[in-house]
Amino acid sequence: MKSKTLGKVISQKQLAPGIFDLVIETEIAAEAGAGQFVGVYTKDASALLPRPISICGVSDDKKCIRLVYRVTGKGTADFSGLKENDDVMLLGVLGNGYDIEELKKCSEAGGKGVLLLGGGIGVPPMLELAKELKAAGVKVTSVMGYRDDKTFLLDEFEKHSDTYVASEDGSVGTKGNVLDAVRENGIEFDAVCSCGPLPMLRAIKEFAGDKPAYISLEERMACGVGACLGCVVKTKEVDHHSHVNNARICTDGPVFAASEVEI
Amino acid sequence: MRKTEVTIAGVTFKNPIMEGSGTFGSGMEYSEFVDLNRLGAVVTKGVANVPWPGNPTPRVCEVYGGMLNAIGLQNPGIEVFCERDLPFLKKYDTKVIVNVCGKSVSDYVEVVERLSDEKRVDMLEINVSCPNVKEGAIAFGTDKGALENITKEIKAHTKKPVIMKLTPNVTDIAEMARVAESAGADALSLINTITGMKIDIERRKFALANKTGGMSGPAIKPIAVRMVYQASHAVKIPVIGMGGVATGEDAIEFMMAGASAVAVGMMNFVNPYATTECIEGIERYMENHKIEDINEIIGCV
């Protein structure tokens, strides 16, 4: 059940330049999982629309969600000022997340496990996925890509997965992108899940070949619940809801099988 | 019990609150948040004779106190609408207004004829005002001759009451209202969105792929109130007012300007409970001001 509801800030800290780690106590956490997102409202009445932010973590007691986000504009700058005990209005939980059972089946059939690829601010949602997959008994390999040595969340990925790093400037891990690191380390996998910039997702779609690849997409959105048709992605087949070659990222996604979308 | 019922072209609504076409799908998405039985009406997303894919993304962006959209009337076409959306709406005790769009007069007529025997459809709202498609829509709403012609054609092909949805992107809204009335419209609704533009100065690009988009939200409310006032005083047929409605107080303001009913648009995206909160706000206002019948305030200023 989706709702617009007031949450309470438990903590906020900065992880890297412009990257913030916000933990919110909210009833939305009860149904939240890897790959889903919430709408976060600013307190500025001129900036009305909820900001879609992916879920980086759900507490074990299912009472809190964790959002790790980058400050990119007015809304996120506003969020970075939130302090312990502040109220924050949320809409959620939104979107379809990753299918853990399906990934487990792929992994059991192939024996190589699931590969998680995160790039930049696409890194945070991969963490909850790593945690849920590990809890389901799936072997997880994570390769996270950053611009430089200002990395974040790597120590936590190490708790749930074999973790590798790529950086564009070569200051940590493999110099290059996440696929360079996959090749350099000879990483094998049965299925790949990814979140990151569109050029990276396109490359991963091609790289995956016949193996199942799931990607998490983003787009400018307004309602977040599938009504406004703002955030569509082109689909290979005619979509079941729209009856044209468009799926709604907010409700049909944000996680899609890479083979189903034209990116 | 205070009376919140309003009647438009022979159709009685339990209260004056509906939502603006395109902000509510066919009600499915928001039925998770609000009880559709409480609404005066559900106004559906514009539907054409065939499926429309809409515009490229980005289709939406935020602006100060509102947003721009250039969805481009993506819709699944009338057959899917009749097979899926109408049966869904049959479960609810609310009026159904179907918004109709097209590229040509014959497109509109095809949809209107298809809906004429659908008992669940109470009224038709004709979209001659969407600013985001290259053919049809606003082209009919900004030209007096075209507006007159399409209104007459549609009236000739249906017995259902017809609402013509007008665009604010004209010089003289009163004149357009009179043209629609004299061509046979049973009611008017306004305003559709105001054409706008946003530029992303960091990327030196248009914020929307379509370059221009329709502006909606609280920032346009004063323009909408003014136009509802001008249009409703130019014609005898009822007017449904909309543009930035967020609260019961906003709805009351539109009614005082001359609207017989009020639609909540963009604010559904901000507050999924906006429609029912508007209804509660109206009831509270009536209580506080000892108004027995909401019709008392229509056009009272």
* Whole-number average pLDDT of chain B: 96
pLDDT of residue A117: 98
What's the pLDDT tens digit per position in B232-248? 999 999 999 999 999 99
- Mean predicted confidence (pLDDT) in B109-129: 96
Question: What is the band of B215 on the pLDDT scale with cuts at 50, 70, 90?
Answer: very high
A224 CB neighbours in chain B (<8 A) are 269
Residue A72's Cα: distance from chain center in Å? Answer: 16
Nearest chain A Cα to B272, which residue?
A: A4
Collect all residues of chain A within an 8 Å Cβ-Cβ radius of residue B49: none
Contact A230 B59 (CB under 8 A): yes
Rounding to the nearest 10 degrees, give the CA dihedral for residues B62, B128, B47, B259.
70
Which chain A residues in 187-226 lie under 8 Å from chain B, judged by CB atoms? 219-226
- The reply to whether A4 touches chain B by the CB within 8 Å rule is yes
Residue B86's pLDDT band (boundaries 50, 70, 90)? very high
CB atoms within 10 A of CB A59: 14
Q: Which residue is associated with the tokens 């499926």?
A: B51
Which candidate in B61, B82, B101, B130 is catalytic?
B130
On whether the CB atoms of residues A96 and A36 are closer than 8 A, the answer is: yes
A3: chain B residues, CB-CB within 8 Å: 33
The shortest CB-CB distance from B57 to any of A3, A220, A224 is to A220
Alpha helices (H) along B81-220: 86-89, 105-115, 138-141, 144-156, 173-182
Q: Nearest-CA distance from B298 to chain A in Å?
A: 29
Interface test with A, best of B59, B61, B267 (most A CBs within 10 A): B59
Asked whether B102 and B48 are in contact (CB, 8 A), the reply is: yes
Going by C-alpha positions, the residue among B231, B261, B186 that lies closest to residue B10 is: B186
The whole-angstrom distance between A50's CA and the closest CA on chain B is: 7
Is there a catalytic annotation at residue B130? Answer: yes
Check CB contact under 8 Å for B57 and A219: yes
Q: Percent helix, strand and coil across chain A, each rounded to 5?
A: 25, 35, 40
Neighbours of A69 (CB within 10 A): 21
pLDDT of A32 reads 97
Instruction: Give me A144's structure tokens.
Output: 């996270």
**Domains of chain B, residue spans:** 6-297
The pLDDT-based confidence of B265 (bands split at 50, 70, 90) is very high
Backbone angles phi, psi at A198, to 5 degrees: -55, -45
> Under 8 Å CB-to-CB from B137, ≥6 apart: which residues?
B73, B101, B102, B127, B128, B129, B130, B131
Q: Which helix (H) or strand (E) holds A21?
A: strand A19-25
Distance (Å, rounded) from C-alpha B260 to C-alpha B15? 10
Query: What pLDDT, on a 0 to 100 scale, did the predictor assign at position B133?
Result: 78
Minimal-distance CA residue of chain A relative to B75: A242
Count chain A–chain B contacts defined by CB atoms under 8 A: 107
Minimal C-alpha gap between B260 and chain A (Å) = 26
Answer yes or no: is pLDDT of B129 > 90. no
CB contact under 8 A, A227 and B270: no
Using a CB–CB cut-off of 8 Å, the residues of B that contact A are 22-25, 29-30, 32-33, 45, 51-54, 57-62, 64-67, 69, 71, 74, 76-77, 80, 217-218, 266-273
B235: which residues sit within 8 A by CB, 6+ positions away?
Answer: B177, B178, B180, B181, B188
Please tell me the predicted confidence (pLDDT) of residue B198. Answer: 98
So what's the pLDDT on residue B137?
Answer: 77
- Do B268 and A227 count as a contact with CB atoms less than 8 A apart? yes
The residues, ordered by sequence, that sit 6+ positions from A93 with a Cβ below 8 Å of its Cβ are A2, A28, A31, A32, A33, A36, A37, A38, A55
> Using omega within 30 degrees of 0 as the cis cutoff, is the peptide bond preceding A93 cis?
yes
**Residues with Cβ within 8 Å of residue A258, at least 6 apart in sequence:** A201, A204, A205, A208, A213, A214, A215
Closest Cβ–Cβ partner in B71, B217, B273 for A48:
B217
**Domains in chain A with CATH codes:** 3-94 (2.40.30.10), 100-216 (3.40.50.80), 219-254 (2.10.240.10)
Place of tokens 């130019």: B234
pLDDT of residue B9: 97
Pick A230's closest partner by Cβ from B30, B66, B71.
Answer: B71
Residue B68 and residue B59: Cα distance in Å, rounded?
8
Closest by alpha carbon to A254, among A226, A245, A243?
A226
pLDDT tens, N- to C-terminus, chain A (263 residues): 899 999 999 999 999 999 999 999 999 999 999 999 999 999 998 999 999 999 999 999 999 999 999 999 999 999 999 999 999 999 999 999 999 999 999 999 999 999 999 999 999 999 999 999 999 999 999 999 999 999 999 999 999 999 999 999 999 999 999 999 999 999 999 999 999 999 999 999 999 999 999 999 999 999 999 999 999 999 999 999 999 999 999 999 999 999 999 99
* Run of H or E residues at B127: strand B123-127
Specify whether the CB–CB gap between B174 and B231 falls below 8 A.
Answer: yes
CA–CA gap between residue B16 and residue B3 (Å, rounded): 11
Helix boundaries (H) for chain B: 78-80, 86-89, 105-115, 138-141, 144-156, 173-182, 221-232, 248-257, 267-270, 274-288
| b/e B191-208 (16+ beta carbons within 10 angstroms → b) | bbbbbbebeeeeeeebbb
- Give dist(CA B27, CA B94) in Å, integer: 11
Residue B1: its pLDDT value, please? 75
Amino acid letter, B121: V
Closest residue of chain A to B200, computed from CA coordinates: A73
Radius of gyration for chain A, computed over Cα atoms and rounded to the nearest angstrom: 18
pTM of the prediction?
0.96
Q: Tell me how close the Cα of A226 comes to any Cα of chain B, in angstroms.
A: 6
pLDDT bracket for residue B131 (50, 70, 90): confident
CB nearest A243 (choices: B45, B69, B76):
B76
Contact A239, A245 (CB under 8 A): yes
Q: Which residues pair with B62 in a beta bridge?
A: B67
Segment B44-75, tens digit of pLDDT: 999 999 999 999 999 999 999 999 999 999 99
Q: Which tokens go with B59?
A: 């289709």
A16 inside 8 A of chain B by CB: no
A176: left (phi over 0), alpha (psi -120 to 50) or beta: left
* Residue A251 touches chain B, beta carbons under 8 Å: yes
CATH number of B6-297: 3.20.20.70
Q: What is the pLDDT of residues B8-25, one digit of tens each?
A: 999 999 999 999 999 999
